[in-house]
Structure 1
Amino acid sequence: MPNVPWYNRHREIEPRVHKELTEKAANRIKFALDNIVSYGEIDDAYKRYRTEVGLQHDYLEVNNYGPAIDAVGKLLQNEGLDHSLTFLEIIIDILWTPSDYSSERHSAEALYQFDIDIRRILVEEGVLLRLRPDQKEVEEYAGKLYEYQNRDHVIKAVDQQRGADSPPSRPFSFRFEQLSHESIIESDQQVRALAKSQRWSGALEPYNEAWELYQGQQFSRIIPEKLYNSLESVLERICVEEQGWNTENEQVGSYLNSCRKNGLFEPNDAMVGEWEQIMGGIQTGIQRSGGDRKDHATIDQHYCVLLLHQVGAFLTFLITRYEDEYDKR
């Protein structure tokens, strides 16, 4: 078995997923805001923000645009997640609210592009947050707003005479939700550390590919298939190549049964039952996302994160338990 030097075994891996806004994510969101927001909207958002949190930040007491947008960047980076998301929810809601000022009359196209940008930044930067409502609902409303903004001049004049010249009512407010908690970050770190070993690197490559698909916003059945492939490869390595408990091309369920029969899931009786449930959930989840669906059929983002978390945690348990039990024999 090849020896992996201490540095490569124990060097801390930089997280690829985060529960907070990273510096880069905060900067990218600030730049996205810079493409659309006005000074007046920043000022309004800060006033509402102070009302909600009861705090005042001197660096946001500015009277022109340049320093104001830079101050927004400071707030997003320095004031913690609760404050950052409170401010973002307020300013996004203001952007989508009709205004009497020409500088704040944003086109439906610009608003929808901003919405796309925010969601894309969160995923690409591995921030475990999502923006609600979902993108489809925002897209439907943006379509109605576009139709209103691009009415024929004659129709506009008639509507104004009738006092009926008002944009479509927005049926939602914007809010952020956490997709997961710190355990998913720890789980991913552990799997990536194991993948640095030549012994497991090939088997865990599909797991890494699943994360790359997630960060590329490809929420499709390919993600659970990659995760299944990684689980299958690790089990084949253990059950076929190293222990000879099974033959090639058996089902994952057969490999799991062999692991159980050979004492891999026996720290105590309660844990055996717990892991049986988890294993069943992983298999059912992966099978449920397959079937007759097209390869690129959309899967809910939250469900993708759940599968990544479950499979990552299970792979870590499986490999570390196996190494602890069998490498010393």
Structure 2
Amino acid sequence: MPSVPWYNRQREIEPRVHKELTERSATRIMFALDNIVSYGEIDDAYKRYRAEVGLQHDYLEVDDFGPAIDGVGTLLQNEDLDRSLTFLELIIDILWTPSDYSSENHSAEALFQFDSDIRRILVEEGVLLRLCPSQKEVEKYAKQLYEYQNQDPVVRMANRQRGNDSPPTRPFSFQFEALSHESAIESDQQVRALAKNQRWSDALEPYDDAWGLYQDGQFSRIIPEKLYNSLESVLERICVEEQNWNTENDQVGSYLDSCRENGLFEPNDAMVGEWSQILGGIQTGIQRSGSDRKDHATIDQHYCILLLHQVGAFLTFLITRYEDVYGEK
């Protein structure tokens, strides 16, 4: 089997997931804001931002929309994550708050589209953040707002005469939430580095597919299935193809037992119990998508990241430990 040249072995893997806003994700969010926000809303958000963080930025102290939206892009790209997310939370809240100015009274359709755009950008750009509340909660409120905004004129006039012409109360505020931490990024980079070796590339392909599904926003039972397939393939490579400890029809649990019996997990056999729990978690992830087993039944985004992280770390340990004990090919 041909070896991998030094350059490709040593070259650092570019992360595909990030704990902070990348330049591209920040730019895309700025363009999404450009589609809906007004100068006055940017100015209001900046004033609130100054009160929250105790800082001011010259590039946001402007009196026209063009420089103001450019300033938002500068803030998102150049300030630290805490400040960027503080500003974003404030401006999103302002967008969804009724205003006396017609240019700042956005339609329910435009608001929900903006909400969808933000969520999609974070996922597509691999940013380990999500916007709370859930999209279903936002959609529920957006429908109520749509019904209010599109009332029959006669009904609206009657409600106004009764003093009952207020928009529905929004039952939530917008907040960003971290999905994972630095170790998830490192774990993924390590697996992708191992996949450069032809010995493991085919077995790790389903793991890569699982990340691709995540970045496409497909939080479905297919992700844990792909992860299970990758784990099974790596173990089969070790236990069946290379060491003849098992036959091809054995189960993953049998492969793990063989690895332990042959000293692969020494001196810490207790970790096998933890890995068995991870395996159970993957199987649960497949089952949690519903008894009807529809391919596109959704799984919680947090849970998808947890499985991707755990399985990535497990695969890295399994392969590197095996190569340490039985040698690289």
Same fold (TM over 0.5): yes
**1:322 aligned to 2:327?**
no
Partner in structure 1 of residue 158 of structure 2: 158
Q: Deviations over 1:181-207 (max 9, x none)?
A: 000000000000001111000000000
Partner in structure 2 of residue 19 of structure 1: 19
Aligned-partner Cα distance in 2 for 1:290–1:223: 14
CA contact (8 A) 2:4 2:197 kept: yes
After TM superposition, list the pairs within 5 Å mapping 1:214-233 onto structure 2: 214-233=214-233
Q: Normalising to structure 2: TM-score of the pair?
A: 0.97
CA contact (8 A) 1:228 1:286 kept: no
Aligned-partner Cα distance in 2 for 1:259–1:320: 13
More divergent stretch after superposition (269-278 vs 245-254) = 269-278
Aligned-partner Cα distance in 2 for 1:310–1:291: 25
Partner in structure 2 of residue 148 of structure 1: 148
More divergent stretch after superposition (160-169 vs 86-95) = 160-169
After TM superposition, list the pairs within 5 Å mapping 1:166-205 onto structure 2: 166-205=166-205
For residue 130 of structure 2, give the secondary structure of its aligned residue in structure 1.
Answer: strand
CA contact (8 A) 1:246 1:255 kept: yes
Deviation at residue 164 of structure 1 after TM alignment = 1.1
Deviation at residue 59 of structure 1 after TM alignment = 1.0
Q: Deviations over 1:22-71 (max 9, x none)?
A: 00000000000000000000000000000000111111100000000000
Task: Give 1:192's aligned amino acid.
Answer: R
Moved runs in structure 1, 4+ residues, more than 6 A?
none
CA contact (8 A) 2:287 2:293 kept: no
Aligned-partner Cα distance in 2 for 1:283–1:325: 29
For residue 16 of structure 1, give the secondary structure of its aligned residue in structure 2.
Answer: coil
Q: Deviations over 1:274-293 (max 9, x none)?
A: 44444444454455557542
Deviation at residue 316 of structure 1 after TM alignment = 0.3
Partner in structure 2 of residue 296 of structure 1: 296
CA contact (8 A) 1:282 1:310 kept: no
Partner in structure 2 of residue 129 of structure 1: 129
Aligned-partner Cα distance in 1 for 2:18–2:122: 10
Change (3 A) 1:269 1:244: closer
Partner in structure 2 of residue 81 of structure 1: 81
Task: Give 1:165's aligned amino acid.
Answer: D
Aligned-partner Cα distance in 2 for 1:83–1:208: 33
- Matched length: 329
Deviation at residue 273 of structure 1 after TM alignment = 4.6
More divergent stretch after superposition (279-288 vs 166-175) = 279-288
More divergent stretch after superposition (17-26 vs 148-157) = 148-157
Percentage of pairs with the same residue: 83
Q: Deviations over 1:201-252 (max 9, x none)?
A: 0000000000000000001000000000000000010000000000112111
Aligned-partner Cα distance in 1 for 2:5–2:17: 26
Aligned-partner Cα distance in 2 for 1:165–1:290: 42
- RMSD, aligned α-carbons: 1.5
CA contact (8 A) 2:129 2:177 kept: yes
Task: Give 1:183's aligned amino acid.
Answer: S
